[in-house]
Structure 1
Amino acid sequence: MTIKSRLLPTLDIDATEVYAHLFDALGDPTRLAVLQHLASGEHRVRDLVEHIGLAQSTVSRHLSFLLECRLVAVRPEGRSSWYALTEPASTAALINAAQSLLRATGTHAQLHTHLSHPHTAGDERTEIR
């Protein structure tokens, strides 16, 4: 049976690229590690370097990508810059949906619980040394 081409939806190329960029951000293990740490509260680059164990330039590069995707925001304070999730609840909902999809397809994996239940605005800043 042949599907008539006029019945197929027209794809929005720009929207497709935006979604692909978002999934690129979530598709890298280092960026997922950064998001997991930020879900517990604001962090500085040096905190993330210490926790993830990668070079400062590598962590900064991944933060830049996440900033570009608007998944994280930066807040300058003196000589430090504090990074935080821009939409903790929406990020948690996406991670929870991914976890449900993985379970439905037979894969049981769970990211750090902070990412599925993030630190929310108004909570005290988490400074990890």
Structure 2
Amino acid sequence: MQINDEQIEVYTKFFHGLSNPTRYKIILSLIDGEKSVGELAEDTDCSQSLISMQLKCLKWCNFVKSSKEGKNIYYSISDERIITLIKLGQSIAEGNTSNICTCEILKEEKNYNGREDSK
């Protein structure tokens, strides 16, 4: 399969959008249906400000969409294929948990790129 460097950049950024633990938790929560920032904060055990910041990224990259009902804004997954991708990824990861968790290269990249989100 021929893919140019520009396409590779886009594809890796797509997956990077799902690599943040808070963004991933938001997506998992939204699989159950649309939710407000407050509901997402409760589901993910994160602050509303952190949820809002991560929703901005998810919305910008078109992982989620929003709709306004009165004064409330609700978020939902923008494309059902994202749910399929998440479930497929979880299925693959479940069979490789030990290898994924002990990968020295991933561990070094995490240490190089900084710490994960804090609550």
State whether TM-score is above 0.5.
yes
Unaligned runs of 5+ in 1: 1-8, 109-129
**Preserved CA contact (<8 Å) 1:21 1:69:** no
Corresponding residue number in structure 2 for 1:27? 19
Correspondent of 1:95 among 79, 86, 95: 86
- The match for 1:49 is 41
> Does the aligned pair in 2 maintain the 1:34–1:48 contact within 8 Å?
yes
C-alpha separation in 1, matches of 2:43 and 2:89: 24
Deviation at 1:92, TM superposition (A): 2.4
The equivalent residue for 2:59 is 67
Partner of residue 28, structure 2: 36
The offset of 1:10, in angstroms, is 6.4
CA distance in 2, matches of 1:20, 1:80: 33
Distance 2:94 2:48 in 1: 35
> Aligned residue for 1:127?
none
**Which structure: greater helix fraction?**
2
Q: Distance in 1 between matches of 2:39 and 2:94?
A: 32
RMSD over aligned CA atoms reads 2.0
Shift >6 Å, 4+ stretches: none
- Percent of aligned positions with the same letter in both sequences? 30
In 1, Cα distance between equivalents of 2:77 and 2:44: 17
Question: Are 1:78 and 2:70 counterparts?
Answer: yes
Higher relative contact order (CA 8 A, sep 6+): 1
Structure 1 residue 100, shift from structure 2 partner: 3.8
Match for 1:91: what amino acid?
A: I
| Partner residue, 1:107 | 97
User: Match of 1:37, as an amino acid?
Assistant: S
Tell me which residue corresponds to 2:113.
none
Structure 1 residue 26: deviation in Å? 1.0
TM-score normalised over the length of structure 2 = 0.72
Question: Matches of 1:42 and 1:10 in 2, distance apart?
Answer: 38
Quote the Cα distance in structure 2 between the aligned partners of 1:96 and 1:53: 22
Highest Rg: 1 or 2?
1
